Amino acid sequence: MNTASRKPSASRKPALSSFSKLSTPAILIVVLIAVDFFAWWLNIPFVEDIFTVGTIYLVMVLGFQLFMGNSGILNWSYAGYIAIGAFASAILSMEPVDKLKYIPVMYPFLVNLHMPFPLALLLGALFSALVAAIIAWPLMRLTDSVGAITQFALLIVINVILSQWQEVTNGPRTFTLGQSRTTSLGVALFVAVLAIIVVFWFKESSLGIKLRASRDDRYAARSSGINIIATRYLAYISSAFIGAIGGGLYSHYIVSITAAAFYMNQVFVLLTMLVIGGSMSVSGAFFGTVLITLAQQGLRQVEMYLTVHGYIDASGTTEIALGILMILFLMVLPNGVTGGREVALRIRSRVREKPKEDSVETV
Amino acid sequence: MVVNTTHDTIKTDPILNVQSIDVAYGSVRVLHEVSLQVFAGELVSICGINGAGKSTTLKTIAGVLKPQSGQIVFRGQDITGKNAEKTHRLGIALVPEGREIFPSLTVAENLRIGAFGRYDAKRYAQDLEDIFELFPILKERYNQAGGLLSGGEQQMLAIARALVSRPDLLMMDEPSLGLAPAMVDLIFELIETLKNRGITILLVEQNAERALKIADRAYLLSTGYIKFAGRPEDMSETIDITSVYLGDGEGGF
């Protein structure tokens, strides 16, 4: 395994590249299955819990990468779509009895909705994507800081609606699903494998190439006949869909949620994962999630140890440490640990001599 | 002036007909009633010093800028004020100044962008073989990021990207700018090859001497006015080019 897929390639035939391209999702999937299987095999609830949440976060980070990594637009509102997916799928899958018990103020027509978990997950995500489709079109014109600020404002709007609309989300109070966990490590793993395939496929698709071209140079992209707004729009909706799937998995694992759980803190964690991994590649999203999940747990242990043993009250240290880590990465390795490249296998062929006397640049 | 708006253009009609366009950046007027024609299969060169309005002319035709008045007719269709996406789809490909390739995309992806809008995979594969014949270096670097190519290679990639869209009109803005002399030779040879293949080209160059040698017809732009239109040989006879260029000629300073 190496991360040097963009170093001078020794291959002359483009056919070889399709092998090394396909090797990227294969490697990621194998690593993910190995890691999750190991966690399951250890059979320690605490470890399994960490890896289940980590795998769910991977789904969210992959969806985040799909839009942000390929378009270069910081998408704050992403946590809003995760939240919509989390609540929508929970409302759809809960038993009516439980709804009456835990959320007595809920609209009657919502109380009577009930369907199996996989369908609820899917429909919840579709609903979130629909919300994105209704809101997003005018926002897709905005780039850079204006775009980021607008997305930030949108996150606030979604959060306020979710945290105040008692008849749907139980308002600021905890929304309890009242059932045992539906999401298991296996379910999360299955969805994450699908997400890796979809996000990687998207990046290599014509839509993904167009989106990346618009990130590189908006004006050149337009004069190459690319409709930037439509391209961004479709990617944004797809991103919201995957995020909402992640949200649905999350709510069916944690079992009691509030709108506050899907707010700036969460965007910040997702952003840290994506930036430290390398936002421009799917491999970056993957390894960033793995690294930050482990770092978070490690730091939390230290934090607890220090606090419990009474040395200092260290609560909150984890967040500070992650913040500092992110700043350091942005300064030293702005493209993350993967450098924006994909992991890939390459077949070695003869190394090419450099016939380069013709390519000297003067200015 | 009579404009032919029918689609069945007769052979003698120009493929591109620009009629007295005025273009301004804010309140600064850069083009004054510029008119020019390009006929199918021709290599037409626009010459002039920095700031004469050459790039502005190309950008206006490509739809990046909008003219304040005048009309642009392409293959019998009025394209005045149409944006760059639309003109590209109609068959106008612009190789912009400064080699605007997509640096983080691979050479393969850069080329595919040129081919979007046509879904003929078989013909694309053929075109790709063609491109590799013209630019062997692009085959070697097929899977490398465009940003890792040298300046000359990037220029080739930019031209190749324009070619895979099979344009009816290929516009090039200063393709030799900032390249090493050996690379400049290569680019001009390439332009001649393209011309011999029957591709219609509108070329903007500061390197007037080289451009005029290969052009069928030429226009001289000076501070936004067309000062000359005709055969390149006649240009040097009618106009004292050195006085227009103030000593520029070899591209040196």
B239 to chain A, any CB pair closer than 8 A? The answer is no
pLDDT tens for each residue of B29-68: 888 888 999 999 999 999 888 888 888 999 899 888 889 9
Name the residue in chain A with its Cα closest to that of B164. A224
Give Cα B101 to chain centroid, integer Å: 15
Element (H, E) at B38: strand B28-38
Evaluate whether residue A257 is within a structural domain. yes
Evaluate whether residue A51 is within a structural domain. yes
In total, how many domains does chain A have? 1
pLDDT tens for each residue of A167-192: 888 888 888 887 778 888 999 999 99
Average predicted confidence (pLDDT) for chain A: 85
State the angle between helix axes of B181-196 and B151-164 in degrees (0 to 180), rounded to the nearest 10. 10
Q: Which domains does chain B have, with CATH numbers?
A: 1-54+61-91+167-179+197-253 (3.40.50.300), 99-166 (no CATH)
Evaluate whether residue A304 is within a structural domain. no
pLDDT > 70: percent of chain A: 90
Task: Give the mean model confidence (pLDDT) for residues A42-49.
Answer: 88
At CA B148, angle to CA B146 and CA B154, rounded to 5? 50
Sign of CA dihedral A69, A71, A74, A79: negative
Evaluate whether residue A143 is within a structural domain. yes
Q: How confident is the model at residue B165 (pLDDT cuts 50, 70, 90)?
A: confident
Residue labelled with tokens 């649905």:
A248
Residues in chain B: 253
- The CB density around residue A136, as the number of other CB atoms within 10 Å, is 22
A134 to chain B, any CB pair closer than 8 A? The answer is no
Burial of B172 (0-12, 13-18, 19+ CB in 10 A): buried
Name the residue in chain A with its Cα closest to that of B91. A225
- The CB density around residue A186, as the number of other CB atoms within 10 Å, is 13
> Are A216 and B104 within 8 A, CB to CB?
yes
Q: How confident is the model at residue A247 (pLDDT cuts 50, 70, 90)?
A: very high
A352 to chain B, any CB pair closer than 8 A? The answer is yes
Q: Which one is predicted more confidently, A238 or A309?
A: A238
Give Cα B207 to chain centroid, integer Å: 14
Q: How confident is the model at residue A234 (pLDDT cuts 50, 70, 90)?
A: very high
* CA distance linking residue A330 with residue A336, whole number of Å: 8
Q: Taking a C-beta distance cutoff of 8 angstroms, is the pair A339, A333 a contact? A: yes
Evaluate whether residue A302 is within a structural domain. no
Residue B14 C-beta-side C-alpha neighbours within 13 Å: 19
A17 to chain B, any CB pair closer than 8 A? The answer is yes
pLDDT tens for each residue of B85-139: 888 888 898 888 876 789 999 999 999 888 886 667 778 888 888 889 888 888 8
Residues of chain A neighbouring B169 (CB-CB closer than 8 A) = none
Highest averaged pLDDT of the listed ranges A121-130, B89-98, B244-253: A121-130
Evaluate whether residue A179 is within a structural domain. yes
The whole domain housing A94 covers 14-263
Select the residue of B108, B113, B149 nearest A14 (Cβ to Cβ). B108
> Are B145 and A226 within 8 A, CB to CB?
no
Residues of chain B neighbouring A71 (CB-CB closer than 8 A) = none
Q: What is the pTM of this model?
A: 0.83
Q: How confident is the model at residue B207 (pLDDT cuts 50, 70, 90)?
A: confident
Is it the case that residue A130 has pLDDT exceeding 90?
yes
Residues of chain B neighbouring A340 (CB-CB closer than 8 A) = 104
The counts of H helices and E strands in chain A are 16, 2
Evaluate whether residue A340 is within a structural domain. no
Q: Shortest CA distance to B221 belongs to which of B66, B97, B35?
A: B35
Q: Give the pLDDT of residue B239.
A: 66
* CA distance linking residue B216 with residue B212, whole number of Å: 8
> Are B108 and A359 within 8 A, CB to CB?
no
CB pairs under 8 A between A and B: 117
Find the distance separating the first CA and the last CA of chain A, reported in whole Å: 38
A141 to chain B, any CB pair closer than 8 A? The answer is no
Helix (H, G, I), strand (E, B) or coil at B166: coil
Evaluate whether residue A285 is within a structural domain. no
Select the residue of A6, A12, A224 nearest B144 (Cβ to Cβ). A6
* CA distance linking residue B250 with residue B209, whole number of Å: 8
> CA of B238 to nearest chain A CA: how many angstroms apart?
34
Q: Would the ipTM clear 0.85, i.e. be above it?
A: no
Name the residue in chain B with its Cα closest to that of A341. B104
Strand order of the β-sheet with B77-78 is B28-38, B16-25, B69-74, B77-78
Tokens of B225: 């006015």
